[in-house]
Amino acid sequence: MRKAFQLVSLFAVVIIAAGLTVSCKGKDGGGAAPAGAPAAAPAADSGPAMSDADFEKAKGIYFDRCGGCHGTLRKGATGPDITPANTTKKTLEKLEKTIFDGTPAGMPGWGRQGLMTKEETTLMAKYIQKPAPIPPEMGLAKIKTTHKLMVPVAQRPSSPEHGRDINEFFGFILRDVGKGAIIDGKTKELMSVVDTGFAVHIFRSSSSGRYFYTVGRDGKVNAIDLFAKTPNVVAEVKTCTEARSIDVSKYNGPKGNFVDKYAVVGCYWPPQMVVLDGQTLEPLKIISTRSHTYDENEYHPEPRVAAIIASHYDSEWVVAVKETGMVWLVDYADLNNLKMTQIAAERFLHDGGWDATKRYFLVAANMKDQMVVVDTKEKKFVTKFETGTKPHPGRGANWVDPKYGPVNATVHLGEGKIAVYGADPKGNPQHAWKVLYEAETEGPGLFIKTHPKSNHVWADNTIAKTEGANKKVCVLKKDKMEEGTNCFQVTDVGLVVHFEYNKAGDEVWISVWDKKGKILVYDDKTLKLKHTIENQDWLVTPTGKWNVYNTVHDIY
């Protein structure tokens, strides 16, 4: 199915494939909060009457499904402020209807989709009319009590024991069972299934590719050794009660060699970053993100770390701080004498990644309908520009357009659209940071992906409301973009979410997010299905997945 392609002169839910805020646990899926969720608190006296048991159940549902958009303290970000000051202005009946049916602005209908029962929507309506329970802080001493070193560094193998190329390996999130799978992309064989945190948000490769690091929404971090005959967890630590991002140190230059030396976790609550030893996950330092908004200079108690990416120009992590609208460049060369550049950008920052040169950090300020550009070489803000309703690039996609040169692209949470914009300020300054093409998809999506060796750009429609649209993918041809998107169905169950290429760039791996999940492997040249992994007991709710080679080299 082709869509017209134009040449240009939810409360959107962020169900991120790495840690989707929607649950596939079924109608009774919310339940109690997972281990590590915000601490229990008795039902407050104010607001509608609720038993402590119902309050606790509602708190668990909120953590699993709502907190990512509305915030731990419910003050809003991608979704609006739903503190009692606002929610008590509406009747319980109206709140229940909104939760059950969704809204035209992009909020999913939890009940309509079969993910909340009528009883659960009633609980949630009451819960958000009561004060939000404030989770505990986590200082370094408390974090250290959670640290476990299963396999000391000296006892780990010095080379791969399995004789396989780890650059071919994929790390898969099995979201709702708190596990991850390691698959050999060359043979399509399962290497191992490991225990992780709850609803893992991302797999991130170490600089060398030897380790996969995972972070759950519950703040639990695992280091997985890919050299082991059966890849296994060698260390873990719980850094916070809610988290989304993790990355590593990559710099090797005049300041020293920091390859695989550090890992850093970005927390939602407490609002902080936690620096870890890259080999053992020993907690080393906490950096609070509490500060003032870039525009109004108002103090914010909950600035969450939305994305972290390692600079290719310096010993720095590039950090998107959501609520304050700041991009931080955190220099990890000397943790005792920490240096940081704070760049005013835009609220509310979310996902982002590199342009093709890996110089410009491109991050979505999705509630402003804008993409923000930061120059990590010059360490300064460049510009921001509108792309569509609530851009959500994930790490994005970049390639060389035959007419406009280097470009990047994003899909959107609030509409079915791919926006392609110039990303070559040196070679094509007249087109840089301007939307050049727009293409319709089947509906709002979460991720877009391509590869330097591919002529295709793949986009999902995961949060589309049209019946069946979220079971389709949409593909663009780089050399014939005027033809528009080719959208086609790839599954009859579940939701299609997230793409990853293999090392060679000739296969696209797709997740079918369902209780009995599937992994679909498509030939990128022919767009034909070439392999399916299904009917496996371990394959429960697969979502995000990452190839080691592509992740190490920031290929997307």
Cα torsion 310, 313, 314, 320: sign = negative
Contacts of 116 (CB under 8 A, 6+ apart): 27, 30, 61, 65, 99, 100, 110, 124
Q: What are 285's two structure tokens?
A: 């330092």
Query: Is 66 one of the annotated active-site residues of the chain?
Result: yes
Query: Is 412 one of the annotated active-site residues of the chain?
Result: no
Dihedral angle, C-alpha 424, 430, 433, 438, nearest 10 °: -100
Catalytic residue among 147, 350, 431, 451: 350
Q: If DSSP states are collapsed to H, E and C, what string results for 319-385?
A: EEECCCCEEEEEECCCHHHCEEEEEECCCCEEEEEECCCCCEEEEEEHHHCEEEEEECCCCEEEEEE
| Dist. CA 548–CA 203, nearest whole Å | 9
| Dist. CA 410–CA 459, nearest whole Å | 9
DSSP string, 134-175: PPPP--HHHHHTT-EESS-GGGS-SS-SS-S-GGGEEEEEEG
Cα torsion 232, 236, 241, 243: sign = negative
Angle at 468 between CA 366 and CA 460, to 5 degrees: 40
Residue pair 23/29 in contact by the 8 Å Cβ criterion: yes
| Dist. CA 98–CA 297, nearest whole Å | 33
Query: Is 456 one of the annotated active-site residues of the chain?
Result: no
Catalytic residue among 50, 66, 273, 474: 66
Question: Does 227 sit behind a cis peptide bond, omega within 30 degrees of 0 on the bond before it?
Answer: no
Catalytic residue among 24, 50, 69, 240: 69
Query: Is 201 one of the annotated active-site residues of the chain?
Result: no
Catalytic residue among 392, 412, 431, 456: 392
Q: Furthest-apart CA pair in the chain: how many Å?
A: 64
Residue among 509, 492, 490, 487 nearest 500 (CA) = 509
Dihedral angle, C-alpha 36, 38, 41, 46, nearest 10 °: -160
What 92-97 contacts at long range (C-beta under 8 Å, 24+ apart), as own/partner pairs, is 92/48, 92/122, 92/125, 92/126, 92/129, 95/124, 95/125, 95/128, 95/129, 96/121, 96/122, 96/124, 96/125
Please, which residues bridge with residue 511 across strands? 497, 519
Query: Is 69 one of the annotated active-site residues of the chain?
Result: yes
| Dist. CA 509–CA 520, nearest whole Å | 6
Catalytic residue among 107, 267, 273, 326: 107
| Dist. CA 105–CA 414, nearest whole Å | 7
Query: Is 107 one of the annotated active-site residues of the chain?
Result: yes
Beta strands in 252-336, from DSSP E residues, in sequence order: 252-253, 256-257, 262-269, 272-277, 283-288, 291-292, 299-300, 305-310, 316-321, 326-331
| Dist. CA 99–CA 110, nearest whole Å | 6
Would you please indicate which residues are annotated as catalytic (active-site) residues? 66, 69-70, 107, 350, 392
